[in-house]
């Protein structure tokens, strides 16, 4: 593999030499966040070349054109300038030695260190930053400066840039940097207070959301010097400057604490005062004290979510990299935001939310942090109003979720073939509602919020199906499934089967709530003006929906009505390396004439609904579709890895795992602008659902493990209905333990029941 990074330890990766041409890539993979805010790994002192100084606060969107909104780029809390004897520190000037920029995933810190020589003066510099997981409104940085061969003046300028703007990438949908920017906020207040604090209060131009940032910056008292202090306030920035005479060989420490609040935060009437009060409360607390709280907070997250791999250090780091970015992307306690398709540290897709979150990201949280999983689903519940509006606009009933959603759930996708045709998203969300319930057992959510989603999406399908009198069946006309290289078709099989599942889930959940939660059901029935006749209509569609998609002779599930009529071709014979096939074909319609699959559709269906298909059917469809799949999407590799594991193709399973686990680490074609949430979430599934073979069968978790050849063993923990199970899977033995069950718990391994008692280890043989 073409690694651009170095492995420092099982928990740490680094840019171990100064590579200015790779700065955008390292800024992306070194993004820090806590679900509330995120910052790309941009150098504190600026870069002077290709760089995106992205700093973002969850839920803060603003309009930019034609009804479109985007996640607002905010002033970075970490911006600074450093002057050595009057010369501004810049890695683009002078000589750089012993350079390192490293991400510590155990502590959630980003550290840069190097020796900088300019005009013969040599200075050692170290910069450490974190965005707090302990207090989501807090960020901090610590700088160490050491003159190596001189006495001289050092000046440190800490500031907030009032001129930042968003990339103008969305208009053309390109993945290239543009000098144009969208500017989204006005300054409504700025100023200073004692002890080196400055603040900036902004309001977005159209959405009217306030963001307040307060920063305190000072030298450590241990430096035993009193620096000269200067306030800075002009049209482009606000901040302060500290200067002092440094002595050769002495180390000088400087730190920043920063607080961020917005007007959308619950209970916050004045974000500016909230930010300043938080800083005041931290007076006397050092960076190192705050960092200890940060490490403790991350330790609690890793305790349940870590996957430990023995025998392959590279894979260990790669897996932790993906889990790390999942954890820090989630606003665990905010039901009004979700996780965008490129995670919070990116402006690509304007920060919009896709089905990537519901199908590829959500399972990680369902099994490791049910509270976070519930909040991701509550985002879908809290944006039902916009989904209803969209359905009505398109002459449909119920709720039609947007292909690309922003803060309030409005549609942001400008391409009709996705926004209006790729409607499987509705069924994906319904599937995730039931998935969360089945694993968490959270009937309160199901009765109070989940059922409303299920009913409104079922109503959508009732109006979206068309009764074909000639064929005497209900059809889905003009839809597009997960494979986006088919174009709009009739009766896409994935969409059909998932839509029927959605209808059935609504019926079954209504019955459950009628029996167990009658009061909640009566309230919802009144709220939605629900008529019992709707259930009969849904059942009629389920029983009479188009079903001519299966060939019993070959056991192939035909992807859609016209797939077999397209021209067979080896897609890899025309594939241009590192480029999407769509953009190298003469035209889009040329692509649609061939049997080319962008990303799995039938294979994904067989993974999600594993027990609905026989092993022989899965094998037949793998053999048919896998050679036709070009993998022009980050959603593709993890599904193939999981299915290859189930079919016993160990080498292919591992190969596809490597492609998803390292997609961003090894720099895909557009990692520079942000990470890919689907492959990051899919990496976890490739291990847990693939190598560990986890499935939910008959109300019980079942595991069919197989250890990759390059691994000695792997271990992980799973949360299921409040119980925590620990698994240690080796080449020959599987060790299982229940960590918190007061009564006996039951799972199964290779289909055989295993009864677990708290803290008592159970051992069984591994078939691999």
**pLDDT at position 337:** 96
Confidence (pLDDT) at 386:
98
Q: What is the pLDDT of residue 313?
A: 97
Q: Is 679 among the domain residues? A: no
What is the pLDDT, as a whole number, of residue 396? 98
Helix (H, G, I), strand (E, B) or coil at 426: helix
CATH assignment at residue 243:
2.70.98.40
**Mean pLDDT value across residues 607-624:** 97
Q: Give the tens place of pLDDT for each residue, 564-596.
A: 999 999 999 999 988 889 889 998 889 999 999
- Is the pLDDT score of 173 beyond 60? no
- Strands across the sheet containing 745-749: 695-697, 700-703, 745-749, 752-756
The answer to whether residue 222 sits within a structural domain is yes
- Dist CA 45 CA 451 (whole Å): 51
Q: Does any domain span residue 683?
A: no
How far, in Å, CA of 617 to CA of 486, rounded?
A: 22
Percent of the chain at pLDDT > 90 equals 85
What is the enclosing helix (H) or strand (E) of 367? helix 362-368
Q: Is residue 208 part of a domain?
A: yes
Please identify which residue in the block is written with the tokens 């019992």: 532
pLDDT band at 202 (very low <50, low <70, confident <90, very high): very high
Domain count across the chain: 1
Q: What angle do CA 29, 32, 35 make, to 5 degrees?
A: 120
Q: Which residue from 694, 713, 714, 711 is spatially nearest to 703, judged by alpha carbons? A: 694
Q: Is residue 499 part of a domain?
A: no
Instruction: Report pLDDT for 3.
Output: 82
Q: Tens digit of pLDDT for each residue in 633-670?
A: 999 999 999 999 999 999 999 999 999 999 999 998 78
Residue 20 has pLDDT above 80, yes or no: yes
pLDDT bucket at 758, cuts 50 / 70 / 90? confident
When pLDDT is averaged across residues 9-15 and rounded to a whole number, the result is 97
How many Cα atoms are found within 13 Å in the side-chain-facing hemisphere of 583? Answer: 8
The pLDDT tens digits of the residues spanning 330-370 come to: 999 999 999 999 999 898 888 999 999 999 999 999 999 99
242-256 exposure pattern, b = at least 16 Cβ within 10 A, e = fewer: bebebeeeeebbbbb
pLDDT in tens, 722-752: 999 999 999 999 999 998 877 778 899 999 9
CA distance 314 to 5: 11
For residue 232, being part of any structural domain is answered with yes
Amino acid 768: pLDDT: 62
Statement: residue 225 has pLDDT above 60: yes
The residues with which 746 forms a beta bridge, in sequence order, are: 755
Which residue range(s) make up the domain with 40? 6-279
- Nearest to 24, CA basis, from 13, 12, 40: 40
Which tens digit of pLDDT belongs to each residue from 290-329? 999 999 999 999 999 999 999 999 999 999 999 999 999 9
Place of tokens 């009913």: 455
- Alpha-carbon gap, residue 357 to 364, rounded angstroms: 10
Q: What is the pLDDT of residue 607?
A: 98
Report pLDDT digits (tens) over 117-139.
999 999 999 999 999 999 999 99
- C-alpha closest to that of 590 among 493, 492, 487, 489: 487
Distance CA 709, CA 508 (A): 43
User: Is 441 domain-assigned?
Assistant: no
pLDDT tens, position by position, 386-442:
999 999 999 999 999 999 999 999 999 988 889 999 999 999 999 999 999 999 999
High-pLDDT (> 70) share of the chain, %: 98
Q: Model pTM?
A: 0.97
Q: What is the mean pLDDT of the chain?
A: 94
Task: Say how far apart CA 478 and CA 421 lie, in whole Å.
Answer: 7
Binning pLDDT at 50, 70 and 90, where does residue 698 land? confident
Query: Where residue 172 falls among pLDDT bands split at 50, 70, 90?
Result: very low
pLDDT tens digit string along 26-58? 999 999 999 999 999 999 998 877 888 899 999
How many other CB atoms sit within 10 Å of the CB of residue 180?
11
Q: Of 333, 192, 216, 375, which Cα lies nearest the Cα of 280?
A: 216
How far is 677 from 675, CA to CA, in rounded Å?
Answer: 6
Q: Is residue 262 part of a domain?
A: yes
Local structure of residue 563 (DSSP, 8 states): G
Cross-strand bridge partners of residue 325: none
Q: How far, in Å, CA of 389 to CA of 587, rounded?
A: 34
pLDDT value at position 177?
59
Give ∠ CA 343-689-496 in degrees, rounded to 5.
80
Q: How far apart are the first and last CA of the chain?
A: 26
How far is it, in rounded angstroms, from Cα 13 to Cα 20? Answer: 17
φ, ψ for residue 709, nearest 5 deg: -60, -35
Q: What is the pLDDT of residues 76-119, one digit of tens each?
A: 999 999 999 999 999 999 999 999 999 999 999 999 999 999 99
CA 533 to the chain's CA centroid: 40
177-188: average pLDDT: 82
pLDDT at 117: 97
C-alpha span between 384 and 147 (Å, rounded): 59
pLDDT of residue 50: 81
């Amino acid at each position: 593999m073409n690694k651009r990074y170095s492995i420092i330890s099982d928990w740490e990766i680094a840019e171990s030499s100064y590579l200015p041409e790779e700065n955008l890539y390292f800024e992306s993979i070194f993004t820090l966040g806590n679900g509330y805010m995120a910052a790309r790994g941009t150098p504190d002192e600026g870069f002077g070349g290709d760089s995106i100084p992205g700093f973002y606060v969850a839920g803060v969107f603003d309009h930019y054109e034609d009804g479109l909104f985007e996640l607002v780029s905010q002033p970075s809390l970490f911006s600074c300038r450093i002057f050595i004897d009057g010369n501004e520190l810049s890695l683009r000037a002078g000589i750089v030695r012993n350079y390192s920029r490293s991400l510590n995933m155990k502590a959630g810190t980003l550290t840069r260190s190097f020796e900088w020589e300019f005009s013969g003066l040599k200075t050692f510099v170290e910069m450490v930053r974190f965005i707090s997981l302990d207090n989501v409104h807090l960020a901090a940085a610590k700088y160490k400066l050491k003159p190596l061969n001189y006495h001289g003046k050092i000046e440190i300028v800490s500031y907030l840039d009032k001129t930042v703007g968003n990339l103008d990438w969305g208009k053309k949908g390109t993945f290239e940097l543009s000098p144009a920017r969208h500017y989204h906020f006005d300054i409504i207040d700025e100023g200073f207070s004692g002890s080196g604090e400055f603040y900036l209060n902004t309001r977005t131009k159209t959405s009217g959301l306030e963001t307040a940032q307060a920063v305190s910056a000072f030298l450590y008292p241990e430096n035993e010097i009193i620096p000269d202090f200067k306030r800075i306030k002009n049209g482009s920035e606000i901040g302060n400057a500290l200067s002092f005479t440094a002595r050769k060989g002495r180390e000088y420490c400087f730190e920043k604490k920063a607080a961020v609040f917005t007007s959308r935060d619950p209970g916050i009437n004045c974000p500016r005062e909230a930010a300043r009060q938080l800083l005041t409360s931290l007076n006397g607390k050092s960076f190192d004290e705050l960092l200890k709280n940060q490490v403790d907070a991350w330790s609690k997250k890793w305790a349940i979510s870590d996957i430990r791999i023995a025998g392959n250090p590279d894979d260990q780091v790669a897996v932790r990299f993906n889990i790390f970015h999942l954890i820090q992307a989630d606003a665990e306690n905010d039901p009004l935001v979700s996780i965008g398709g490129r995670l919070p540290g990116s402006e690509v897709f304007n920060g919009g939310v896709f089905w990537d979150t519901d199908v590829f990201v959500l399972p990680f949280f369902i099994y490791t942090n049910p509270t976070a999983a519930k909040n991701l689903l509550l985002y879908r519940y809290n944006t039902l109003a916009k989904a209803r509006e969209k359905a009505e606009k398109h002459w449909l009933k119920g709720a039609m979720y947007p292909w690309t959603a922003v803060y309030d759930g409005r549609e942001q996708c400008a391409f009709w073939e996705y926004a209006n045709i790729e409607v499987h998203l509705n069924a994906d969300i319904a599937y995730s509602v039931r998935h969360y319930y089945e694993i968490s057992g959270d009937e309160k959510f199901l009765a109070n919020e989940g059922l409303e989603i299920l009913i409104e999406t079922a109503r959508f399908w009732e109006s979206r199906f068309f009764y074909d009198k000639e064929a005497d069946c209900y059809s889905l006309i003009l839809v597009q499934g997960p494979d986006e290289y088919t174009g709009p078709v009739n009766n896409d099989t994935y969409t059909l089967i998932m839509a029927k599942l959605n209808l059935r889930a609504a019926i079954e959940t209504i019955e459950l709530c009628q029996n167990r939660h009658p009061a909640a059901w009566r309230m919802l029935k009144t709220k939605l003006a629900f008529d019992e006749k709707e259930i009969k209509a849904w059942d009629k569609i389920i029983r009479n929906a188009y079903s001519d998609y299966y060939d019993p002779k070959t056991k192939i599930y035909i992807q859609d009505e016209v797939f077999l009529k397209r021209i067979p071709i080896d897609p890899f014979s025309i594939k241009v390396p590192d480029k999407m096939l769509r953009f190298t074909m003469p035209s889009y319609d040329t692509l649609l004439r061939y049997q080319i699959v962008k990303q799995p559709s039938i294979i994904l269906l067989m993974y999600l609904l594993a027990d609905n298909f026989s092993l022989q059917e899965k094998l037949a469809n793998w053999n048919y579709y896998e050679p036709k799949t070009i993998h022009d999407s980050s959603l593709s590799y993890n599904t193939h890895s999981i299915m290859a594991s189930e079919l016993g193709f160990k080498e292919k399973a591992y190969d596809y795992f490597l492609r998803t686990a390292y997609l961003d680490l090894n720099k895909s074609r557009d990692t520079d602008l942000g990470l890919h949430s689907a492959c990051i979430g899919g990496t976890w599934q490739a291990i847990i659902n693939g190598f560990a073979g986890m499935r939910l069968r008959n109300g019980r978790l079942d595991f069919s493990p197989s250890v990759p050849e390059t691994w000695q063993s792997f271990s992980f923990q799973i949360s299921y209905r409040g119980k925590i199970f620990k698994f240690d899977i080796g080449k020959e033995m599987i060790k299982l333990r229940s960590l918190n069950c007061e009564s006996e718990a039951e799972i199964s391994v290779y289909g055989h029941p295993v009864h677990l008692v708290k803290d008592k280890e159970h051992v069984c043989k591994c078939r691999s």
